[in-house]
């Protein structure tokens, strides 16, 4: 557990403390898990990139948020590098104003080096996400006063070729403990953030939200106060996203009745 956190028996009070304690516990649960071929390397940015993740949470999750946006797991040039969900380097450094040291995984894949904020590759999903947030809300401060972005799972599974494997590509026996740990973490994060809306970025995230909000890991009163929605994932692997992701998401949120709070491009 990172040394900056309170010990587990000291009940955290602030929203950032609650989120960070939940994330540290999640890493403790995930670290001992082992995965079979074709997985050759497993990364967890909440371990080696904890410093920028902690800075992200402490700066932008200072209280309850109206909207929580939930992604799936890290991309190779986003959260894998910066520790921030959808953490495209330029957006995190220049738009959010965050930068912190990033270490490296214990065993690093030669085709997927961790360069931290020195990474020159752009994460398309993250660039789309944060450019849209800036256009709709006007600034990082306006966006994060209204919304917060999480990933369901912090882990990255790499094959020998360097190709990512998504959670659903894991064998059921290996996926079950991942789901258990990540569901518990998501329930704790939603309890801390107390959103009106929990929005899945893509179908996988929406399904996990529904599972958690209908399950036993979260207080039923908290769950009843959260409405669920879904938006298109910004991945360049999605033909629909490549045809105008921001416009599609604007239309999806408008259909749900969600508008930016505090101004923005509208």
Per-residue pLDDT of 145-162, as tens digits, reads: 999 999 999 999 999 999
* Average pLDDT of the segment spanning 240-249: 97
Tokens 């495209």 appear where?
A: 88
Superfamily of domain 15-254 in the CATH hierarchy? Uracil-DNA glycosylase-like domain (3.40.470.10)
Q: What is the pLDDT of residues 63-107, one digit of tens each?
A: 999 999 999 999 999 999 999 999 999 999 999 999 999 999 999
* Average pLDDT of the segment spanning 135-141: 96
Whether this model's pTM surpasses 0.85: yes
* Average pLDDT of the segment spanning 199-203: 98
């Amino acid at each position: 557990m990172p040394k900056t956190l309170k010990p587990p028996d000291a009940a955290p009070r602030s929203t950032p403390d609650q989120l960070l304690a939940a994330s540290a516990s999640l890493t403790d649960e995930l670290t001992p898990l082992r995965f079979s071929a074709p997985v050759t390397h497993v990364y967890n940015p909440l371990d080696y990139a904890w410093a920028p993740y902690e800075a992200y949470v402490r700066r932008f999750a200072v209280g309850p948020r109206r909207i929580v946006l939930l992604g799936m797991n890290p991309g190779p040039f986003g959260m894998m590098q910066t520790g921030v969900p959808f953490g495209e380097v330029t957006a995190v450094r220049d738009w959010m104003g965050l930068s912190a040291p990033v270490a490296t995984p214990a065993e690093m894949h030669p085709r997927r080096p961790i360069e931290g904020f020195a990474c020159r590759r752009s994460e398309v999903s993250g660039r789309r996400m944060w450019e849209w947030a800036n256009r709709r809300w006007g600034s990082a401060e306006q966006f994060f006063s209204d919304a917060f972005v999480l990933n369901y799972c912090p882990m990255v599974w790499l094959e020998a070729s360097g190709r990512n494997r998504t959670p659903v590509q894991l064998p059921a026996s290996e996926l079950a403990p991942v789901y258990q740990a990540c569901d518990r973490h998501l329930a704790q994060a939603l309890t801390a953030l107390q959103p009106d809306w929990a929005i899945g970025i893509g179908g996988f995230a929406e399904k996990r939200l529904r599972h958690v909000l209908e399950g036993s890991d979260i207080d039923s009163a908290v769950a009843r106060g959260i409405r669920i929605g879904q938006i298109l994932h910004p991945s360049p692997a999605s033909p629909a996203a490549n045809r105008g992701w921001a416009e599609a998401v604007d239309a999806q949120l408008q259909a749900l009745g969600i508008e930016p709070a505090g101004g923005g491009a509208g």
